[in-house]
Amino acid sequence: MLRYIMVTPQSHRIHHSRKVEHRDKNYGAIFSIWDHLFGTQYRNYEEYPETGLEDPGFLHETELGWRRTARTFVVQLVYPFEMAFRSITEMTSRRPTI
């Protein structure tokens, strides 16, 4: 019953799933009621998929230590902006010049 009100670990796992059918699902951070109201709740509550990113360029934490953890955090934080910048520069470089 609690899963209809609060976000559960399983719900959060669906949010980070690699499966296509789980994309754009389970956005709630604390309350899952919003996902139920807006139709973004994935309702198979017994499914525990593999999680992660399929992007080989995304840095994953592989070593222990506070310096490595801090570095990984910063690199992961900047990564979406780096990808957006790359996308924009690729689009502008493909434009025909007049």
Rounded Cα distance between 95 and 97, Å, is: 6
How sure is the predictor about 58, in pLDDT bands with cuts at 50, 70 and 90?
A: confident
pTM of the shown model: 0.57
Q: Are 31 and 24 in contact (CB under 8 A)?
A: no
What are the sequence ranges of the domains in the chain?
A: 2-38, 54-98
Q: What is the pLDDT of residues 31-56, one digit of tens each?
A: 999 999 999 999 998 898 988 777 77
Q: Are 13 and 49 in contact (CB under 8 A)?
A: yes
Tokens of 97: 């010049």
| CA-to-CA separations, 6 to 11, 17, 23, 32, 93, in angstroms, rounded | 9, 19, 20, 5, 47
pLDDT of the residue at 22: 92
Rounded Cα distance between 51 and 9, Å, is: 12
